[in-house]
Structure 1
């Protein structure tokens, strides 16, 4: 009998924000897998630490690179595709033995989660179950005490990796915005928000719900932003 791959959302960082369902299913796993940058412990693994069964075998997937190669570099697609192929094959071998696999993913698995790429490869031939998690963005706007959308406000979620023209285009179309994947794109995001006149109400959140959390107005934010950071631009705040 084929095993079952459960892709478990681990939430934004605070271990108390893991769902009861994710904790229950994690306890049943024969194999626990997660992604990590080389030399780092793996964010999802850190969040799940207290709930990983002692009997489970752990499988770590080290990204070939994180910020070292631009998404525009031809090598990025080739090497990341090969990486996800290898990861999926590794889990497929476990599933073919009838084992229960838990694949951990920070935030929600289907919102910019690496686990999506393994789901795409595994789901045609293996049973998969998805357990949603509290997203990083909802963790951040809650940490910042920032109501984001009211009434018929339109919310957009923008990757900071977009070029300046594309960012400007989307910022001019919606009411509220979440800008993710800051890192080395932060200076560009600042420039565009100022150009669009959306900087005054923008809030910078770093490591939302985690130890070392920082919430600041954009103009008071540090010059550099780590991976786990985002900018929140609230909507119109109409009468309510």
Structure 2
């Protein structure tokens, strides 16, 4: 029997992949990866030029992304069917060969593969290769420590309700806001209400081609790319200055 190897690729720059991930990708005979219809896929872009010439590729195309609200029953139904189908296809394939599933960031940190991971339990051997989370690549792009000393760091989803975003922004030192995209205006309002907007940074396409780092107050756009994170750095004291 083969295995399913979920390979964490890191934040986007191929140079930030682990040695173990690099080795798995270059040795792969079968690779699967998520992508939006009509797009090459970010995970596939990261490994461009690394795959064997005779590799078999299995692009897993989402049936829906932003066309329907993520909490709409149709969205939930379509995605559930998509994950069911691909879990079955990968399980069948892995009866004979190893399959490397490419995953941006770290698979265990909001990774799409986890929807397959749950469905594949007990059916096939699974190996997960850790990757640098995208947020780590983003705060390194800013060039400042995200947290010091006893700072509390909170990771939020921009899809949360505005009042919940504001509450959690008030009650933490350092902030990471993922899934900004079309939620950028809402995130900005919540930060302003929480008194944190002046300290916020927007990092678009962190570590990738086209990276942009800017203070959020200087950004006029109401939306940003899918691969974008808002950061508010903690103000804790470092041991060296205490």
Task: Determine the C-alpha separation between the residues in 1 that align with 2:26 and 2:184.
Answer: 39
Instruction: Give the TM-score normalised by structure 2.
Output: 0.95
Aligned to 1:115: 113
8 Å CA contact 2:105, 2:132 repeated in 1: yes
User: What are structure 1's unaligned runs of at least 5 residues?
Assistant: none
Aligned length: 238
Task: Determine the C-alpha separation between the residues in 2 that align with 1:26 and 1:129.
Answer: 13
Aligned to 1:210: 208
Aligned to 1:173: 171
Partner secondary structure for residue 191 of structure 2: helix
Deviation larger for 69-78 or 200-209: 69-78
Deviation larger for 63-72 or 179-188: 63-72
Partner secondary structure for residue 48 of structure 2: helix
Provide Cα deviations, 1:9-45, integer angstroms capped at 9, x if missing partner: 1111111111110111122322100000111100000
Aligned to 2:140: 142
Task: Determine the C-alpha separation between the residues in 2 that align with 1:12 and 1:170.
Answer: 25
Task: Determine the C-alpha separation between the residues in 1 that align with 2:13 and 2:175.
Answer: 23
Residues 222/20 of structure 1: CA separation in 2 closer, same or farther (3 Å cut): farther
8 Å CA contact 1:28, 1:100 repeated in 2: no
CA shift, 1:51, in A, is 1.7
Aligned to 1:55: 54
Task: Determine the C-alpha separation between the residues in 2 that align with 1:222 and 1:54.
Answer: 44
Task: Determine the C-alpha separation between the residues in 2 that align with 1:146 and 1:36.
Answer: 32
8 Å CA contact 1:3, 1:101 repeated in 2: yes
Task: Determine the C-alpha separation between the residues in 2 that align with 1:42 and 1:55.
Answer: 19
CA shift, 1:110, in A, is 1.2
CA shift, 1:123, in A, is 2.6
8 Å CA contact 2:167, 2:194 repeated in 1: no
Task: Determine the C-alpha separation between the residues in 2 that align with 1:123 and 1:28.
Answer: 24
RMSD: 1.1
CA shift, 1:222, in A, is 3.8
Matched, 1:235 2:238: no
8 Å CA contact 2:64, 2:78 repeated in 1: no
Matched, 1:83 2:78: no
CA shift, 1:146, in A, is 2.2
Task: Determine the C-alpha separation between the residues in 1 that align with 2:5 and 2:59.
Answer: 16
Provide Cα deviations, 1:183-233, integer angstroms capped at 9, x if missing partner: 111100000000000011110100010111110011012412110111001
8 Å CA contact 1:31, 1:100 repeated in 2: yes
Task: Determine the C-alpha separation between the residues in 1 that align with 2:99 and 2:150.
Answer: 41
Instruction: Give the TM-score normalised by structure 1.
Output: 0.96
Provide Cα deviations, 1:105-127, integer angstroms capped at 9, x if missing partner: 01111111111111111132110
Task: Determine the C-alpha separation between the residues in 2 that align with 1:227 and 1:169.
Answer: 24
Task: Determine the C-alpha separation between the residues in 2 that align with 1:163 and 1:130.
Answer: 32
CA shift, 1:55, in A, is 2.4
